[in-house]
Structure 1
Amino acid sequence: MTLIAMNHAAIVDIKTKGAKGDGITDDGPAILSAWKDACAGPPPSSLFIPPGTYLSVAIELVGPCKGPIEINANGATIKAPPELAKFTKDSWITIRNVDKLTMTGGTFDGQGQQAWTSKICKDSTACQIPVNLRLSKLKDSLFRGITSINSKNFHIAFRGCDNSRVENINIDAPGNSINTDGIHIAKLNGLNISNSKIGTGDDCISFGEGSRNVRIDGVSCGPGHGFSIGSLGKYPNEEPVEGIFLNNCTITGAVNGLRIKSWPDSYPGTVNDIHFEDIIVTSVTNPILIDQEYCPNKACKKGAPSKVKISNVSFRKIRGTSSAKVAVKLVCSSLAPCESVEVADINLTFNGGQATSECTNARPKVTGQNVPGVCRV
């Protein structure tokens, strides 16, 4: 084990494990070897990736570790192979089963251009399309200053990462990149995301089943598909989504703004305690949208109502411009109509003129001054 003692911490430099940093040689084995030593070393420990450009095939950094551990990649760029044939699983860099991880800096380049244009992979189930960073069961952890670019699939996927924080991260991919959600969240309790910038080809942040107690503050989104709860109800026994608070964010040039979506003819599920407040939208096609008829492909059974119950939702102080005339659209289920939806103090215009609203199976509580006037049914 090669350790550098610094401030009573065990620091493992990947260069001591043979990493070349030339952007050509596969440095994945060196990163994995350094991780194993740092994880087994006396805490607090650190995996150090010096400034430079590194190439790495798919790797899994697995705990538990002896104590708090850091991955410090400030100034480093880590690139994935561009070829999909080099991936046999749906992840590029996986980190799992670690408590009190701090991940600082680094640019993670998925080199996803070939994946976006692949005819074989237009449906992500047709082949293995890797997520840039798959983070699983990382409790009480901090992720700051990270950049993810050109992911082949989702950029960052959180699952089971309770009581964690994300700060000052940057996510970037073209608006036409396929299925490149910026951050996907599922089956966790407690996550704060703040002061970050996301521009991609799909949802900036998507909330899957079991997302609980998530706070988003000071995040800019665009291009992309906005901030999306769901889609939900596609599979049986999905865990509830509840306690989502999104404040002080901007959405620019996106297909959607603030969206809750469920499949028609769905399995039962619940969405509860969802609050959007103090949001600025600019040239967004669907600024405020509840869509319980979400059906993007032929696998859906249109016409049969969703069984996902949506309740206790608020849209407050949403202002800016809609690129479609219908700026507020609440399409709820006839079988499980939305309950306790509040719309308050919105100001949305269409091409400098009057926008409109639509409601189906929804009786929103309307308070404050609202432009456009919000429908009542």
Structure 2
Amino acid sequence: MQFFILSLVFVCTNADDKIFSVISYGAKADGVTDDSEVFLKAWMDACKWNGEATFLIPLGTYMIYGVTFFGPCKGSLIVKIQGVIKASTNPNIFCKGSWISFEHINNLEIEGGGTLDGQGASAWGQPQCATRPYTIGLSSIQNAIVHGIHSINSKMFHFDIYNSNNVTLSHVHIIAPSDSPNTDGIHISLSSNIRVFDSNIGTGDDCISIFAGSQNVNISRVTCGPGHGISIGSLGNKPNEVVKDVHVKNCTLIATQNGMRIKTWASSNVGEATNIYFEDIIMDKVDNPIIIDQYYCPSHTCNIKKSLVQIKDVTFNNIRGTSNSLVAVNFNCSSSLSCQIINLNDIDLINYNTKPTIASCANAIGHATGIELPPSCLKSVLES
């Protein structure tokens, strides 16, 4: 007599989870056909799903001319990018503010290890567009996580975070040539509770730029280079521009134009940058490791006036490494509103040719403790 044992295997799934693959909606994934409409159809169904929806871009190469993914959505959304998404090189298509944009969404996750290729060389230096599109825009987003994404050769900013709250970017890899214009890695404005960590950014402009209306920004374990460093500003273009509560820690800057920078326009409106901390930073052949510039004028055609942006409560702690220039610390503050409460502690910056570095100060009030290399030039409160 033979006995047969029936083995039952139960696979438990959450009935509220569903995958919306762009391939199922007809995406060609040939790197030539515009899949924008297909992506949008898949997104709209995912956005309507009352549960956890995964909007999936599988392995393959996709061409997207441009798309905006609108919310609000019924449930939470995971955007899983596994393949390569390429932007158009046709200036009649890409002359707009964004390439891929997510707007008015709560609870968003973007992951998957895929690559966004902005094909920016087609736009850099070209006069056809008044503005060039950023690669990914996050606008009016509440609660988002972006991790494991590669962005290469954006036409303008790689990531633009605007009017958003509680957004975390980690393990992102951003690459563009050192001479690519305005290709900021991560641009933050009018946003709060933003975190960037464990990421590598090498680009043609600021690795991270923190603009007006930003607060509670935390940046850690970021390697930056090439690029223009980690910058706050420019501020003062419009009245009452404020940046506050920024903490940059455990970062490395390699062969960048600037290190830690705060900048305001040479002729500015009233504004403020306050409660800023830069600490545990390594500089490797950085042109301007520590810089506050209140006479910022890249075009050199500005009507130079006194800046009305108040910079105060700024701490540089444990900043060490090599400077490409002899002036390793440069505080060029406004003659009408001097920089207040500037704290330097354990600054150890040497010239990479082993020459002594110097500090340059104008209208900068504060104090220095610990290692002073270069020697501090800050004025004390009693001297001011």
Confirm or deny a common fold (TM above 0.5).
Answer: yes
Candidates 276, 293, 314, aligned match of 1:274: 276
Q: Using the TM superposition, name which of 199-208 and 85-94 deviates more.
A: 85-94
Bigger Rg, which one: 2
Candidates 167, 187, 190, aligned match of 1:187: 190
Matched AA of 1:41: W
> 1:84 maps to what in 2?
91
Distance 1:376 1:340 in 2: 10
Distance 1:128 1:55 in 2: 21
> 1:327 maps to what in 2?
328
In the alignment, does 2:181 pair up with 1:173?
A: no
Distance 1:168 1:183 in 2: 13
Distance 1:84 1:129 in 2: 9
Mapping of residues 1-377 of structure 1, within 5 Å: 7-8=14-15, 9-74=17-82, 76-105=83-112, 106-118=114-126, 120=127, 127-238=130-241, 240-302=242-304, 304-350=305-351, 351-377=353-379
Matched AA of 1:318: I
Q: Is the 8 A contact 2:326 2:355 kept in 1?
A: no
Offset, 1:72: 0.5
Offset, 1:127: 1.9
Distance 2:13 2:366 in 1: 58
Write out per-residue CA displacement over residues 239-264 of structure 1, whole angstroms, 9 at most, x where no aligned residue. x1000000000000100000000012
Offset, 1:87: 2.2
Offset, 1:160: 1.8
Partner-residue secondary structure (3-state), 2:72: coil
Matched AA of 1:18: G
Offset, 1:234: 1.1
Write out per-residue CA displacement over residues 173-224 of structure 1, whole angstroms, 9 at most, x where no aligned residue. 0000001000000111101111000000000000000110010010000000
Q: CA RMSD in A?
A: 1.3
Q: 1:330 to 1:298 in 2, by over 3 A?
A: closer
Offset, 1:376: 3.2
Tell me the percent identity.
43
Matched AA of 1:307: L
Offset, 1:152: 0.5
Partner-residue secondary structure (3-state), 2:336: coil
Distance 2:38 2:77 in 1: 17
Distance 2:179 2:236 in 1: 27
Distance 1:287 1:364 in 2: 18
Q: 1:78 to 1:152 in 2, by over 3 A?
A: same
Distance 2:164 2:110 in 1: 13
Distance 1:376 1:223 in 2: 30
Distance 1:26 1:6 in 2: 34
Moved over 3 A (4+): none
Offset, 1:6: 5.8
Offset, 1:298: 4.5
- Aligned residues, how many? 365
Q: Is the 8 A contact 1:289 1:329 kept in 2?
A: yes
Partner-residue secondary structure (3-state), 1:100: strand
Distance 2:168 2:33 in 1: 33
More strand by share: 2
- How does the TM-score come out when normalised to structure 2? 0.93
Partner-residue secondary structure (3-state), 2:174: strand
Structure 1's unaligned 5+ residue stretches are none
Q: Using the TM superposition, name which of 138-147 and 292-301 deviates more.
A: 292-301
Distance 2:190 2:67 in 1: 23
Offset, 1:85: 1.9
Distance 2:41 2:161 in 1: 24
Partner-residue secondary structure (3-state), 2:374: coil
Distance 1:7 1:248 in 2: 40
Q: Is the 8 A contact 1:331 1:360 kept in 2?
A: yes
Write out per-residue CA displacement over residues 157-178 of structure 1, whole angstroms, 9 at most, x where no aligned residue. 0012201211100000000000
Partner-residue secondary structure (3-state), 2:130: coil
Partner-residue secondary structure (3-state), 1:163: strand
Distance 2:301 2:64 in 1: 36
